[in-house]
Amino acid sequence: MKRFISWFAGLGMLCTSFTQAAILNIDPESVPAAAWTIYDPQSGQTLAEYNSHAQRAPASLTKMMVAYITLKEIKAGKLKKSDVIIANNVVHVVQPDESQMFLRPGQKITIDQLLTGLVVMSANDAAVTLAQRIGGDLPHFVARMNQEAKALGMKDTHFTNPAGITMDGHYSSAADMAKLGDALIQQFPDYLGYSKQTSYSWNGHAHHATNILLKQDPTVDGLKTGFTRAAGFNLALTAKRPTMNPNLPERRLIVVVLGTTSPVMRAEVAHRLMNLAYNYTRDEVVVKAKQPIAQLPVIDGKETLYQVIPQTTQFMTTSLYNQPVNIDMRSFNNDSGRLVYNGTTIEPIDKTQTRIEVTLNQKQLTAPLNQTLQLATLKVYQNGQWIEDVAVHSQVQLERASLWQRFWHWLSELLPFLADQPAPAKVLL
């Protein structure tokens, strides 16, 4: 039978499994986008979403995957940013009306310059040149793109080209693009060195970044814009801002909006969603690293009890909005960062009601043992509603007790007053 421990506190969390309810209930009719999502990388939670798993044309958000693979090759030592390659005829697949660096066959260019052109200029010729260099040809690289998407758990995604051209079978979702953006930031933070650049010039061709929020909000540092007639105007946006939480001095959020009607609209929608999330949610600690949360009996081990100790601090995103109606984004003042209904400002609440229930997934442990096990599950409730399950894994290493130690443990069970005494050294006569 599983054992339970309940904790009541104003706490919070990080690793996520299944979400029962949105952290922020936003009326989708008040958000002028075909699909969108707000994602918190610290907690792993989706804070709010609409049509986030709908398969849509991602346009140039596709290029985030090209950057991901390129940076992965660099990290593996297969490429260097300083490597010089010679552009070839693959650039001719790019049509005159497409975004490009205006590469010509025979021109020399570095991997670093191609990455900058890919991200800042959204250059399709940079995308196909990198694809051919890494994959050998475009079909092999596209296969690699789909392989990496599968590995990242991007279940709503299938790629047919590296540039983001609208084609049958080329699709993704707001949720998947948020997942890809998170992977880029976590694994290759130097991507942000490209995505935060506001302009780039190469070979006499200048281009200003189409993410206009880079100049409007100093906390914004990426991720990627995209547009085709089929896709509409897309934006994967991220920012990192300071907090008042000593356990998490800075907090990053990712917002993806798809299918807006203009570059100004995609920026406004994404920025308002992000500002709302920053002001009406916060990340709080559920469990601190190295802090015991339970113990399990050990059979035949040198120790009779095993402490269940999370190895990492776990956060949970909690809502600071407690009104009984869904949030109307048209009522959000982007300058003040507050919701205003009928002239009344809705301030974020100070205290939250969170309950943590610890379920032990093992009755006991038997030595010897050297294995990673899910020892416990944390069930997180907020305002009486289940929010999240958090798995607690441990690398369990238990040595088998000697015959003498096992005898002493047996004796201690018969004579309880011995239980707190260490086993005496075995005496050889």
Which domain-ending residue is among 226, 249, 265?
226
In a domain, 266, yes or no: no
DSSP, res 295 = E
In a domain, 253, yes or no: no
Condensed to tens digits (0 to 9), the pLDDT of residues 201-246 reads: 998 989 999 999 999 999 999 999 999 999 999 999 999 999 988 9
Using omega within 30 degrees of 0 as the cis cutoff, is the peptide bond preceding 368 cis? yes
**Parallel/antiparallel/unpaired status of strands 344-346 and 354-360:** unpaired
CA pair distance 429, 113, nearest whole angstrom: 79
CA pair distance 40, 284, nearest whole angstrom: 12
Give how many domains the chain has, as a whole number: 2
In a domain, 355, yes or no: yes
Which residues are known to be catalytic?
A: 60, 63, 122
Condensed to tens digits (0 to 9), the pLDDT of residues 298-311 reads: 888 878 888 888 88
- What does the pLDDT read at residue 411? 63
Residues whose CB falls within 8 Å of the CB of residue 141, separated by 6 or more in sequence, listed in order? 69, 131, 132, 134, 135, 162
- The CATH number linked to 367 is 2.60.410.10
Same domain, residue pair 333 and 211: no
Same domain, residue pair 330 and 410: yes
Same domain, residue pair 93 and 221: yes
CA pair distance 186, 174, nearest whole angstrom: 18
- What does the pLDDT read at residue 46? 95
Instruction: Walk across the sheet containing 332-333 and list its strands.
Output: 332-333, 338-341, 344-346
In a domain, 214, yes or no: yes
In a domain, 158, yes or no: yes
Phi, psi of 224 (to 5 degrees): -165, 145
Tens-level pLDDT at each residue, the chain (429 residues): 333 333 222 222 333 333 346 789 999 999 999 999 999 999 999 999 999 999 999 999 999 999 999 999 999 999 999 999 999 999 999 999 899 999 999 999 999 999 999 999 999 999 999 999 999 999 999 999 999 999 999 999 999 999 999 999 999 999 999 999 999 999 999 999 999 999 999 989 899 999 999 999 999 999 999 999 999 999 999 999 999 889 899 999 999 999 999 999 999 999 999 999 999 999 988 888 888 888 888 888 878 888 888 888 888 899 999 899 999 999 999 999 999 999 999 999 998 877 888 888 888 888 888 888 888 888 888 767 787 788 888 888 888 877 765 665 666 666 666 556 554 444 433
CA pair distance 400, 71, nearest whole angstrom: 45
- What does the pLDDT read at residue 424? 47
Same domain, residue pair 296 and 401: yes
- Tell me the C-alpha to C-alpha distance, in Å, between residue 62 and each of 30, 59, 149, 289: 27, 6, 11, 37
In a domain, 427, yes or no: no
- What does the pLDDT read at residue 254? 98
- Side chain identity at 118, as an amino acid letter? L
Same domain, residue pair 216 and 308: no
Q: Quick one: which of 246, 202, 236, 237 has its CA closest to 219?
A: 237
Using DSSP's 3-state secondary structure scheme, residue 76 falls into coil
- What does the pLDDT read at residue 14? 32
160 and 243 in contact (C-beta within 8 Å)?
Answer: no
Same domain, residue pair 200 and 75: yes
Condensed to tens digits (0 to 9), the pLDDT of residues 5-62 reads: 332 222 223 333 333 467 899 999 999 999 999 999 999 999 999 999 999 999 999 9
In a domain, 244, yes or no: no
Residues whose CB falls within 8 Å of the CB of residue 265, separated by 6 or more in sequence, listed in order? 32, 33, 233
Domain ranges, residue 320: 4-9+288-418
Q: Quick one: which of 157, 150, 178, 180 has its CA closest to 49?
A: 178
Same domain, residue pair 205 and 310: no
Per DSSP, what are the bridge partners of residue 387? none
Same domain, residue pair 211 and 339: no
Residues written for the chain: 429
Same domain, residue pair 222 and 306: no
- The CATH number linked to 139 is 3.40.710.10
Same domain, residue pair 206 and 73: yes
Same domain, residue pair 172 and 299: no
- What does the pLDDT read at residue 12? 29
In a domain, 49, yes or no: no
Report CA dihedral (299, 301, 302, 307) to the nearest 10 degrees: -80
CA pair distance 233, 227, nearest whole angstrom: 5
